[in-house]
Chains A and B, each alone.
Chain A
Amino acid sequence: MNTILALLIIAPVVGFLINGLYGHKLSKTLAAIIGSSAILISFICTILLFKSVPENGVRIQFFNILKLEAFNLDAAFLIDHLSLMMMSIITGIGFLIHLYSAGYMQHDKGMAKFFAYLNLFIFSMILLVAGSSYTLMFFGWEGVGLCSYLLIGFWFTNGDYANAAKKAFVMNRIGDLGFLMGMFLFLQNFGSLDYSVLKAGHLQISTGMATAITLLLFVGAMGKSAQIPLYTWLPDAMAGPTPVSALIHAATMVTAGIYMIVRSNAIFALAPFTMHFVATIGLATALFAGTIALFQNDIKKVLAYSTVSQLGFMFLGLGVGAFTSGMFHLMTHAFFKALLFLGAGSVIHAMSGEQSIAKMGGLRKQIPLTFWTFTIGVFAIIGIPFTSGFVSKDEILNATYAFNPMYFYLAAFGAVLTIFYMLRLWYLTFFGNFRGGKEQMDHLHESPLNMTLPLMVLAVLSIVGGFIQLPELFHGHPYLIEYLKPVVSNMVAEHSGEGHETFEWALFGGTIVVLIFMFAWTFKLFGKKESVSEEYTGLAGVLEKKYYVDEIYSFLFVKPLEHISVLLSKVVDNKIVDGMVFLTGKFVTWSGTTLRYIQNGQTGFYFLMMSIAIVVMLAYNLLFKL
């Protein structure tokens, strides 16, 4: 087991080192093969671990990194059901996306660099989810942040892309500060950052302190998982290559915050205020991002806001105490959102780099494979019954209803928003007539097999992914809840009785009615659209401009900081600091010029000076010292 785990962790590092150090000497094909096979090895190792892991998980220690009186850092990994679940998502989807990238990036000369970064990302992500302490999680946390920065700015010669990378990095830094402070408080209270102290029911801590710790940890999650108010980096992160958006900014990295909260569920359970706060922020984000997505024309931007919105749903699930449902939605979302992003990548590939859905249309005939797989992704996210997205979202909605009916209605409205913008995207991209230029029309082509294969695998997963935990209404069995039971204690009130079953049927029926209505309505609106306006007015304009949040942040934080920087640079640095440095030099020059005339070459003069000095010193000593 130790060997398998070591291999699992080291394989991506080896891939990173080979591609990173010798990438310029490797052919593109070889770089892709090395990068992908490293992740395949990790994936196989993860599968092997599934069989041998005991019920309560196992802590595997390789060596000690740092030993201090009050603090101990081990290179130890906690392999339990939760981390295995995360690792299989990371390495599994990671491998599919590596495979896809080999096709998507084949015209790019930075192929080896790209795979090196991706491998480093997978390594950091494994460290994040498999580490046995918050310290290792933080290493991974920063590592994925770095990789995200590198990959968003992969085409760094474009100034906007480089700025998007910087924005993501800085936004994450704000969150990381919260996470770090949470860790410090945790260490102060428990004397260790190891997960072994996180035993439900054994935590000796006051509610106030638990609230402080969890709130700070949640600030970290806000940054990484793009929640209000730190979400603005994620839509901009779409500047990176599309496989990166699929892997990092949809399927894995952005879910780190959810994993962290689920991992810390024992302490979150002690802080009801934080739970309420998490639920509120999640719900607000889900609605906020959902409304923005309604009028976006960039195919990746729609998916990005949809990701923010779905992450909001996950946090809502966590906040109402249904940790497993949050994890479940994380998993199904990883499937269908990776699928959607990769499908979008395939569309963009076919459209020769065009991302605006205003210029697409009628693509279902030209790229049928992409169309069908994308359709499955859309069906999963809008919650067509029994697809994975339906099952997991249904669970979250159910748990929310038990928590607070008001939250439930708002969340349901958020789900309706999802249906609207996803169907809009679907109709505008694949139906109606082609709205692009003649050249793009002639160039349209289906993507190669190594790009469509991951699409097909993910499409299958998007359908069957939910079957592991079908609602009880349909005689499903909660396999996931049982599987995660050793790690996660859910706090949802046990719902039973007639009333609840009625509610579930009502929810199911309501879903179907709303879906049918939305299909018809959106088809009428977008199904046969000849032209899509690029400009919106009124409320739609505000939504299209993303509520002007970027502009507000710019006015409130970026501009003042810039002014202060200019002030510091022009006045404090140039005038005061530099002035002092120059003054020292000038004084030396001046005193040298003045005093050099004393050295006149006359020995007698020197001797006279010496004598006078001696007399003065003696006189001073005689008069004042004795």
Chain B
Amino acid sequence: MLKEVFIDHYIYLALTLFCIGILGVLIRRNAIVLFMSIELMLNSVNLLLVAFSSRMGDAAGQIFVFFIMTVAAAEVAVGLAIIVMLYRNTRSIDIGDANKLKW
């Protein structure tokens, strides 16, 4: 079935998701939303990998996606921990408040 959907559509979808992720990171100030946007970008890339993998008939892409997801899980654990610590210290999860490290 998959073969009947052109690869273009996957690319457009992944691109859209990626752009939404970028805009989320750029515009929003809530740390949790930011974090979700990053995950969105990551997964749009995963989607692209899987699509090409299926199209090319090469399993390597899909295996690669598994690794990315594993790493992403670890990354989530670390990232959330950072956000928790941020909240405990500033009583806010607005990244605009985390601006102490500058000139």
A611 to B26: give the CA distance in the assembly, Å. 9
* Cβ B103 vs Cβ A600 within 8 A: yes
**Count of chain B residues with Cβ under 8 Å from any Cβ of A?**
13
List residues of chain B with CB within 8 A of the CB of A603: 34, 95, 98
User: CA of A608 to CA of B25 in the docked complex: distance in angstroms?
Assistant: 9
Asked if B100 is an interface residue, CB under 8 A from chain A, the answer is: yes
The answer to the question of A604 belonging to the interface, with a C-beta cut-off of 8 Å to chain B, is yes
Q: How far, in angstroms, from A603 to B79 measured CA to CA in the complex?
A: 14
B26 engages A607 (CB within 8 Å):
yes
In this assembly, does A584 line the interface, its C-beta being within 8 Å of a C-beta of chain B?
no
In the complex, whether A64 has a CB less than 8 A from a CB of chain B is no
Query: Is A602 at the interface (CB under 8 A from chain B)?
Result: yes
- Residues of B within 8 Å of A597, CB to CB, are 103
The smallest C-beta distance from B27 to any residue of chain A, in angstroms, reads: 8
- Interface 1/0 per residue, B25-55 and A, CB below 8 Å: 1100100001000000000000000000000
Which B residue's beta carbon lies closest to that of A596?
B103
Closest A residue to B99 by beta carbon equals A601
Q: Which residue of A lies closest to B25 (CB)?
A: A607
- Is residue B83 contacting chain A, with contact meaning CB distance below 8 A? no
Residues 77-103 (chain B) with a chain A CB within 8 angstroms: 95-96, 98-103
Q: Which residues of B contact A607 (CB under 8 A)?
A: 25-26
Q: How far is the CA of A419 from the CA of B84 in the complex (A)?
A: 109
Contact residues in A for B100 (Cβ distance below 8 Å): 601
Q: Is A599 an interface residue (CB 8 A)?
A: yes
Within 8 Å CB of B25, what residues of A?
604, 607
| Distance, CA A600 to CA B98, complexed state (A) | 11
B99 surroundings in chain A (CB, below 8 A): 600-602
Whether A600 touches B102, Cβ cut-off 8 Å, given contacts A607-B26, A611-B22, is yes
Task: State whether A608 and B102 are in contact (beta carbons under 8 Å apart), knowing that A602-B96, A603-B95 are contacts in the complex.
Answer: no
**A604 B29 Cβ-Cβ under 8 A:** yes
A599–B100 Cα distance when bound, in Å, is: 11
Chain A residues positioned under 8 Å from B95 (CB to CB): 603-604
**Complex formed: what's the CA distance from A603 to B101 in Å?**
10
Please name the residue on chain B nearest to A597 by beta carbon. Answer: B103
A-side interface size class = 10 to 19
Contact A601 B22 (CB under 8 A): no
- Using CB atoms, name the residue of chain B closest to A608: B26
**Cα separation A305 to B50 with both chains bound (whole Å):** 102
* Chain A residue at minimum C-beta to C-beta distance from B102: A601
Chain A positions within 8 Å of B102 at CB level:
599-601
CB distance from A598 to the nearest CB of B (A): 8
Per the bound structure, the CA–CA distance linking A549 and B99 in Å amounts to 79
| Chain A residue contacts of B98, Cβ below 8 A | 601, 603
Closest-by-CB residue of A relative to B27 is A604
Given known pairs A608-B26, A611-B22, the reply for A599 and B103 (CB within 8 Å) is yes
**Chain A residues near B101 (CB-CB < 8 A):** 601
The CA of A50 and the CA of B80, in the complex, are separated in Å by 98
- When C-beta atoms are compared, the residue in chain B nearest to A603 turns out to be B95
What is the CB-to-nearest-CB distance from B50 to chain A, in angstroms, rounded to a whole number? 22
Q: CA–CA, A597 to B29, complex, Å?
A: 21
A360 CA to B29 CA, complexed, in Å = 104
Q: State A600–B95 Cα separation when bound (angstroms).
A: 13
**Docked complex Cα distance between A604 and B99 (Å):** 10
Q: Which residue of A596, A601, A607 has the most chain B CB atoms within 10 A of its CB atom?
A: A601
Residues facing B in A557-609 (CB within 8 A) are 596-597, 599-604, 607-608
Q: A297 CB to closest chain B CB, in angstroms?
A: 78
Closest residue on chain A to residue B34 by CB atoms: A603
Contacts of A611 in B (CB 8 A): 22, 26
Report the Cα distance A624→B98, complex, angstroms: 39
Q: Which residues of A contact B96 (CB under 8 A)?
A: 602, 604
Contacts of A608 in B (CB 8 A): 26
Q: How far is the CA of A600 from the CA of B103 in the complex (A)?
A: 6
Residues of B within 8 A of A601 (CB): 98-102
Q: What's the Cα separation between A600 and B102 when bound, in Å?
A: 5
CA of A597 to CA of B34 in the docked complex: distance in angstroms? 24
Cα of A602 to Cα of B102 in the assembled complex, Å: 8
Measured CB to CB, the closest approach of chain A to B29, in angstroms, equals: 7
Q: In whole angstroms, what is the CA distance A604 to B102 when docked? A: 13
Q: How far is the CA of A611 from the CA of B98 in the complex (A)?
A: 20
Residues from 87 to 116 in A contacting B, C-beta threshold 8 Å: none
CA distance A607 to B34 in the complex (A): 11
Chain B residues closer than 8 Å to A596, beta-carbon distance? 103
Q: Are B26 and A604 in contact (CB under 8 A)?
A: yes
CB distance from B24 to the nearest CB of A (A): 10
Q: In whole angstroms, what is the CA distance A602 to B95 when docked?
A: 8
Question: A601 to B95, alpha carbons, bound, how many Å?
Answer: 10
In the assembled complex, the CB of A218 is this many whole angstroms from the nearest CB of chain B, namely: 72
Rounded to whole angstroms, the CA-CA distance of A602 and B99 in the bound complex is 6
Q: Say how far A609's CB is from chain B's closest CB, in angstroms.
A: 11
Instruction: Give Cα distance in the complex from A608 to B22, angstroms.
Output: 9
Which residues of A, 504-563, contact B by the 8 Å Cβ criterion?
none
For residue A599, which residues in chain B have a CB less than 8 angstroms away from its CB?
Answer: 102-103
CB distance from B96 to the nearest CB of A (A): 7
Q: Complex formed: what's the CA distance from A601 to B90 in Å?
A: 15
B94 to A: closest C-beta gap in Å? 11
Q: How far is the CA of A608 from the CA of B26 in the complex (A)?
A: 6
Query: Can you show 13 pairs from A to B with CB atoms below 8 A apart?
Result: A596-B103, A599-B102, A599-B103, A600-B102, A601-B98, A601-B102, A603-B34, A604-B29, A604-B96, A607-B25, A607-B26, A611-B22, A611-B26
Residue ranges of A at the interface with B (Cβ–Cβ < 8 Å): 596-597, 599-604, 607-608, 611
Nearest first, the 3 A-B pairs at minimum CB distance are A601-B99, A601-B102, A596-B103
Given contacts A599-B102, A611-B26, 8 further A-B contacts (CB under 8 A): A596-B103, A597-B103, A599-B103, A600-B99, A600-B103, A601-B102, A604-B26, A611-B22
